[in-house]
Chains A and B, each alone.
Chain A
Amino acid sequence: MQIAYQCCFAPVSGYLCICRSSTSWQCPACSHTLSTRASNSIIPSAEDPSKSISKKTYYQACNFCRWTTRGIGMPDKDVVSAAWSEKNNPEQLRIRQLMDYYRYLAQKETAEQAQRKSSKKRGYFSTAMQLQQRYGGPRTPQSSKKHPAVSTPLSSSLAALRLKGSFKEVTLEPAQTCGIDEVEKLPDEIYTKKVDFTQIASIQQRLYQPSRQIEQVEDFWPRKSTMFVKRSLRCKKCDHNIIKPEYNSSSIKFKIQLVAVHHIPEVRIHKEGPIIAGSKNKISLSLINPTEHDIHISFLPNTEENNTKKSNATTELPSSEIVVLKYDEAAEYISTPTSGKPEMFDDPSLIIYRRANKIGFYLQCVPNADLAPGDDVWITFRFRHEHYGNASVVKLLKGDDAASEPAPTWLTQTVFVNIGKVADK
């Protein structure tokens, strides 16, 4: 998951795309996704008024803040996929007109310029000017003052023709202004009415629907939820497709199978405790098996420390092997994970707990005596576990052959753990 996030915020490519969905809606109060709810209502039958029939109706409700479409008086719908509508902005038409008008003006401007340019190039313009100065000037002094550039009847009509031919003229009604009497006045009740802060929309709620900016809670209207579309993402090195493009992604799944998190057991710190330098401390770690096979883990001391990281504690590793059960997708949905499984005998001095594909175990470590309180304590060890690769996929492709259990390869992992800081005495 984390990897996916890093990818999506890298400035190289945003892989999610946004648009408005027609089926999914968001709560205007808390921007949570609304869910459709059904309810039975008993209405008198149409044919026989004495009888009553029950009818299913649907409305939308927010699971988070309990806002419902019934609260604002939106009528219920008879079918699940009925069209819920977003309120239209009444000014939308005006805005479209404005845009058309300005586009027209811009086009006209460029056309006029192009015309002026071309006439200059061909020398028409100068000829026209000369002609005008010689003949047109004294006869029509007023018109030449008004239009010094193009004023002869011929050229102006030509220009008009050219303009008309290329695009349609757009006109716009001038905007309405209001004087002191038309502008909205404060209502009289504003002085007497008590302010109920819960009934007035906050600025976040108002800006959530920018063009409407609802002020009262009772005027809330659901907003179409923004849909996310996953775009594909490829590995820069090997050009593998890592993330598949997908509509309405509910989770991010990696298409590529060979990611370490799917194969290597994960080591986590289970519980933090006080660490005292120079004496024996019990550390509890946990192991998670992500593979579909039970794995056996044996611990080895780490002898070859590299220069970058150094442990500053001696570690006493468990000598016996630990078995971690396989990852079972179905187990997540069963409430009692141990039921129906063979009980395993675990040494309680070593194993803290065992739950599905997780196991908790103890380590003993002695941090170096010269550590001061507040210093980080690093321990290191190695562990060996078996690895089946993508054998299960291969098996699936070849056909179900139960007899041939794939042979494991053994991998050794080196682990450095920062188990915490040395406690104060």
Chain B
Amino acid sequence: MSYKKLGMVFGGGNPIVLDIGETYTKLGFAGEPEPRAVIPTAIQKVGGPLTYILKSDRSCISQHLHCATLKQSISKFLEKVFFKILQINPKHQRVLLCESLLNPTKIREVIAEVLFHQFEVAALVFAPHHLLACFTVAMGTGLVVDCAYNETIVLPVIEGTPILWAWQSAPLGSSGIQDEIMKEISEKGKIQVRDEAAKSVTSRLSERVLEDIKVKACFVTQYERAKLIHDGKLAEWRKVCRKRVGSYFFIFSNFCNHAINYFYNTNLIMLRLLYVMMSARFTQKNVGDSTSEQEITKPSPALSDMIYPIDGVTRLMIPGSVREEAAEVLFEQDNDGTSISTMVLDSLLQCPVVSRKELAQNLLVIGGTSLLPGFRHRLLFELKEFAESEEKYRSKLSQCEFRVHNPPVPANLVSWLGASIFASLESFQHRLVTKEYFNQHNRKLPDWCGLPFPDKTPEASSHTTPASFKGGSHLGSSKNK
């Protein structure tokens, strides 16, 4: 048996498709229906902690500070990908990488350099994953909502062209949910070692535990319950504020009493009157507020508390309310009124009027965070609710019917599958950046795939099917800013 031939059968000839996400990397070969493996985007020394190579390092990368360590960790990570998991020699292979629109140029250039110079790949392509996701539902037009680890990016795609001026992004994602879980646990949770008395949690739990709690217990609750939670939080906040105001008033009144006693003989009637009036008003207001506090209801049925086993002897008592309240960070609007739902609506408002209806009917929700139970239902419900009730959207979007796509793979694999389809096409060949090109152009990549290549005839860049990336130059130029 020829073993070399065997290697070809197992995918040696097909391009390698990588979707390097912030927490998980999907890897496999073009033309296959599912990735070979999904692994954490991390490197680990033997016995050491798992170090995520792209997470939380964005600020450093933009300052070009940790470029050397970034290169080192990327090359170590890719070594693991090629030699340990895909078990393939990347020499003379073609590689397709899914990338986010907001992927810093620095990262893609470091990845390209590692791939070209260390692993000697023949050619590679960076493709925008929002566009690739549309391949999985065979739609040229759609509104892609990517809810990932750190941020959520909304991008409309019209006839195979990403409409960059309508993109929306906000730091709403899994990291926010995990922070929220940690906050709730440190407030109300308890930790117990063996049979000792339960103590409150003081240090931050490991990201792995928080992720596990999020995956196993959390869900996106219904809109009605969410409203109650939100009102409850608001009332609590008000109560805290009022307590503060009340204590100030107490000091003030004490001071006044002394003053009145002092000035009583001098008949300062006016001051007394003022004091009496103020105290009367305050008590009245207080009475009125206390009745409104009683009206606040917690959502029922209340969620029961949970016990999470951290290891053989340590147990973590988690308040049940975490389950639905943690994911609310995605949907409760901040001071600017930004939530996932309003981002989608704002993005629609910036699209051409003629395309709005079709975009609203072709929502595509991707990204690992959107796998939380109830996510899509809540999103659709809020979109409908806001489009009908809020003044800002009612006039322009009330005619839209919101419908969401069911891609053939789970939401976290959608862009990988799109990439797998794209890389199996012939037109993929036209988009490749070769090693020679990379070296000739000062180790810079063409920004986005739409930029004309010097050796290509104009026909090659004017594809008309959804398989092509049009309008890439727009995207590229704004990305460089």
* Chain A residues within CB distance 8 Å of chain B: 8-9, 11-14, 16-19, 89, 91-92, 94-96, 98-99, 101-103, 105-110, 113, 116-117, 172, 174-180, 183-186, 190-192, 194-195, 197-198, 200, 202-203, 206-207, 210-211, 213, 228-229, 231-232, 245
Point out the residues of chain A lying under 8 angstroms from B427, CB to CB.
106, 109-110
Instruction: Report Cα–Cα, A109/B425, bound state, in Å.
Output: 11
Task: Indicate whether B405 reaches chain A with its CB closer than 8 angstroms.
Answer: yes
Q: Are B83 and A192 in contact (CB under 8 A)?
A: no
Count how many pairs of residues, one from A and one from B, have CB atoms less than 8 Å apart in the complex.
178
B contact residues around A8 at 8 Å (CB): 83
A190 CA / B324 CA spacing, docked (Å)? 10
**Nearest CB of A to B421, in Å:** 5
Interface size on B, residues (CB 8 A): 82
**In the complex, which residue of chain A has the Cβ closest to the Cβ of B33?**
A95
Supposing A11-B119, A17-B87, A183-B380 touch, asked if A116 and B7 sit within 8 A by C-beta, the answer is no
Q: Does B126 contact A (CB under 8 A)?
A: no
Residues B413 and A210 in contact, CB atoms below 8 Å apart = yes
Q: Which 7 A-B pairs have the closest CB atoms?
A: A91-B408, A211-B34, A177-B403, A175-B137, A207-B38, A186-B374, A95-B33
Q: Which of A116, A176, A210, A229 contacts B38 (CB 8 A)?
A: A210
Whether A183 lies near B404 (C-beta < 8 A) is yes
Which of B103-111, B216-224, B470-478 lies on the face that meets chain A? B216-224
Q: B216 CB to closest chain A CB, in angstroms? A: 4
Interface stretch (choices B187-195, B238-246, B304-312, B342-350):
B304-312
CB pair A103 B26 closer than 8 Å:
no
Q: Which residue of A lies closest to B464 (CB)?
A: A109
A91's nearest neighbour on chain B, judged by CB, is: B408
Question: Whole-angstrom distance between the alpha carbons of A186 and B226 in the complex?
Answer: 13
Contacts of A103 in B (CB 8 A): 424-426
Known: A109-B465, A180-B384, A210-B35. A175 touches B405 (CB 8 A): yes
B169, CB-defined interface residue at 8 Å: no
Q: Give chain A residues whose Cβ lies under 8 Å from the Cβ of B373.
A: 186, 190
Distance A214 CA – B400 CA, assembled complex (angstroms): 35
Residues of A near B33 (CB, < 8 A) are 89, 91-92, 95-96, 211
B251 interfacial by beta-carbon distance below 8 Å: no
- Which of these, A14, A185, A186, A194, contacts B87 with CB under 8 Å? A14
What is the distance, in angstroms, from A14's C-beta to the closest C-beta of chain B?
Answer: 5
From the candidates A11, A96, A101, A231, name the one contacting B83 in the complex (CB within 8 A). A11
Return chain B residues, CB-CB under 8 Å to A105.
465-467
Q: Report the minimum CB–CB distance from A12 to chain B (whole Å).
A: 8
Q: Is B10 an interface residue (CB 8 A)?
A: yes
Does B380 contact A179, Cβ atoms closer than 8 Å?
yes
With A13-B89, A200-B216 as known contacts, state yes or no: A98 contacts B136, CB within 8 Å: yes
Q: A180-B380, A210-B413 are in contact. Are A99 and B31 (CB under 8 A)?
A: yes
Instruction: Check B377–A185 contact: CB distance below 8 A.
Output: yes
Shortest distance between the CB of B359 and any CB in chain A (Å): 12
- 19 further A-B contacts with Cβ under 8 Å, apart from A190-B219, A192-B301, are A16-B87, A17-B6, A17-B10, A18-B10, A18-B86, A95-B408, A95-B417, A102-B421, A105-B467, A116-B459, A175-B138, A176-B405, A185-B377, A194-B304, A200-B217, A202-B212, A207-B24, A207-B39, A229-B6
Provide the residues of chain B in CB contact with A179, threshold 8 Å: 380, 401-404
Chain B residues positioned under 8 Å from A228 (CB to CB): 87
Cα(A89)–Cα(B32), bound, Å: 13
Contacting residues of chain B (390-408) with chain A, CB-CB under 8 angstroms = 401-408
| Residue B278 is within 8 A (CB to CB) of chain A in the complex | no
Cα-based distance from A379 to B86 in the complex (angstroms)? 45
Tell whether, in the assembled complex, residue B406 and residue A178 are in contact, meaning their CB atoms are under 8 Å apart. Answer: yes
Contact pattern, B 107-138, Cβ under 8 Å of A = 1, otherwise 0: 00000000000110000000000000001111
B381 at the interface (CB under 8 A from A): yes
Instruction: Please give the distance in Å from B369's CB to the nearest CB on chain A.
Output: 12
**Interface residues as binary, B165-203 with A (CB distance below 8 Å gives 1, 0 otherwise):** 000000000000000000000000000000000000000
- Interface residue B37 (Cβ < 8 Å from any Cβ of A): yes
